[in-house]
Structure 1
């Protein structure tokens, strides 16, 4: 999410929830759109895309011992769905738009 994990939480879930913080509304909306697009692919395609195109400093499906209780996701799809939920439920995204 563009930051050192030490700055955004002690667990993978906390890091994901922190992802939208400090981002512009436009960035958040574009991220939601791109994640929805990614999640429209098959699990096999999501795995391939994540492993070859996406630069992550951690592997969200690896069983990591350090730091203790960091957490993991069973699949890349589950990881990206959690990231999408974090952006979709962000308070700024949830605010009604007044035109």
Structure 2
């Protein structure tokens, strides 16, 4: 292998490396932007969530402000996340 052939291979490897690193950087940026955009739209709409443990009766959870939310149908003692709109209406209930 001559010196010029070796130099051509080095240049090809460098270009490939730059292309791969650039592609990974762009993909990471787009993933970050999509996550932040989704969070911002939820905050703008007033959507928030409350986590808690279902009471012994299995009918409600209490948030840190003392408000009770109806989670009928979930087993008592299970951890749940309640998604609320800005008026406090329940949008969804998810169990861990």
TM-score normalised by the chain length of structure 2 = 0.21
Structure with max Cα Rg: 2
Structure with more of its chain in helix, by fraction: 1
Q: Which has the higher contact order (CA 8 A, sep 6+)?
A: 1
